Structure 1
């Protein structure tokens, strides 16, 4: 294949040539800015909370600060064993976190209360630790097969003892009707009714999606139909605006609110 040579047409510039296999410092900063801007605020807060906990626990247990270097899989396994409760033969539960360390974490306000953590919390802390290692291009301790096996068996053990992984339940009709019954005819009540029905009738919208809507995101299609547009969401970060229809009581409630 012939390659067009335009070297003689390029003006010389007073710039130091980049290294092929090393990302320039300003490019690293730009990449970090893109990642930060593309991460939801709630996610950033949860990451910060998890990393703060890791830092405190590492300092108390190993005398090491988070960020000194990659952590071995043994540390992640120790974390699980110290924070997940395991059933004993006498029917009681135990975890390996020393009481003094537990109390210190609570006193430092990085832990809400004494005792083991929920399985979901431990899983989230491990996921954040894994992301931290990937960002730093370190070997990821959370990918160790021994850790994955431990988590799988720990979850089974807790399930056999009746401890189920908690998941947030979506609101159903009866609680929605109870909430709507509290909405009066004042401006605030009209607003709350519109928000509740929009979230419900719009296909189960998240709170952040509903409260993030602006007046420019909704438009009336006809007397009985409104359209509302969503941009980036938690599960769709592409940012492409998609219009969804709103009809019936939800459309009527939105009309009442905007006309109040």
Structure 2
């Protein structure tokens, strides 16, 4: 990783070489890996965009005119634009480079994220950002409103308890089956874990001290999308969920290192960590075996399904959030709002 990257602190003449290296190391260790990867992708994109748009490299600080052009180029659908439209030509260059998917107007969240990264690059260099000027800021607000669209769910359907049972029923007796059962049931019962959270688990993150006496397994996540390192509360698995995880640990002979690993065609457990895409393939495979379309749900369906089931069962949203680790009540409330009003337990208060 280059120490000259804009998402790392700029060199300061007031610091010694050792202190500058320590500051850079602090930024790397203190920034989530997913954020660093997003910074790298966004830096690649805005650099390529400016080269194609102006045939110039990025400037620090960047000009307001460039910031405004960036917003304008990403605030409209370019599919109907004439072939000689400069913004369309730039977009076609980015598509050819694999940096842009289509000429359609990007989602407001995508534009917001790239601008947020560009702002962060300026902060790292102790520079004022052009995106803070009144005109640019207003244009950004108008672009967000003009391109507003209904939110699309990350999973076509939530994996509620009945769907989860169908998936678990396809897990028979092989090592792969034991692993998939443990992944599905942990991903659901621990509060709806994200793919990266499941694959990031280590054997050392699991405590079996209370399994023999209480059938409890405690899990410590290093960090999540909404919690910082060392600030994530321990999560618990009970009963069937705890048993499924312990069974996988025994069958897979997991004694250290990654908790979930690939299993070969010969049903041999490998040493390396299972990738997040592996979770996607597992969900798709189990849906197919259960007689459901492969696109019926994605891994995020475990998360949405947990909260949806909590709403169906009448669990208070605060208790569900203690496991899902949602930071925003409004975000978690969306899953509760999606439950059919006829299924809401509050409709039965009169009896």
The reply to whether TM is greater than 0.5 is yes
What's the CA shift for 1:97? 5.5
**What is residue 149 of structure 1 aligned with on the other side?**
138
Match of 1:104 in 2: 93
8 Å contact kept, 1:82–1:97: no
Residues 1:36 and 2:32 are matched in the alignment:
no
How many residues are treated as equivalent by the alignment? 232
Structure 2 unpaired stretches of 5+: 1-12, 252-351
Structural mapping, 1:46-65, within 5 Å: 46-65=38-57
Higher strand share: 1
| Contact 2:71–2:143 under 8 Å retained in 1 | no
1:67-95 residue CA offsets vs partner (Å, 9 max, x unmatched) = x32112332221111112269xxxx9769
Superposed displacement of residue 119, structure 1: 1.4
- Give the structure 2 partner of residue 23 of structure 1: 15
Residue 164 of structure 1: aligned partner: 150
SS at match of 1:71: coil
1:140 equivalenced with 2:129 (yes/no): yes
Structure 1 residue ranges without an equivalent (≥5): 1-20
Relative distance call for 1:256 and 1:97 in structure 2 (3 A) is: farther
Question: Residues 142, 176 of structure 1: CA spacing in aligned structure 2 closer, same or farther, 3 A cutoff?
Answer: farther
Structure 1 residues 178 and 44, CA gap change in structure 2 (3 angstroms): farther
Residues 119, 165 of structure 1: 8 Å contact kept: no
Alignment map for 1:61-140 (pairs within 5 Å): 61-66=53-58, 68-85=59-76, 98-140=87-129
CA spacing shift, 1:178–1:124, aligned 2, 3 Å? farther
User: Does 1:185 find its partner at 2:173?
Assistant: yes
Whole-Å separation in 2 of the counterparts to 1:235 and 1:208? 13
> Which runs of structure 2 are paired with 1:177-216 in the superposition (5 Å)?
177-216=165-204
Q: TM-score, normalised by structure 2?
A: 0.59
For 1:209 and 1:33, the matched residues in 2 are separated by 24
Is the CA contact (8 Å cut-off) linking 2:186 and 2:237 kept in structure 1? yes
TM-score if structure 1 supplies the norm length? 0.78
1:44-88: CA deviation from partner (whole Å, max 9, x where unpaired): 22111111111111112122212x32112332221111112269x
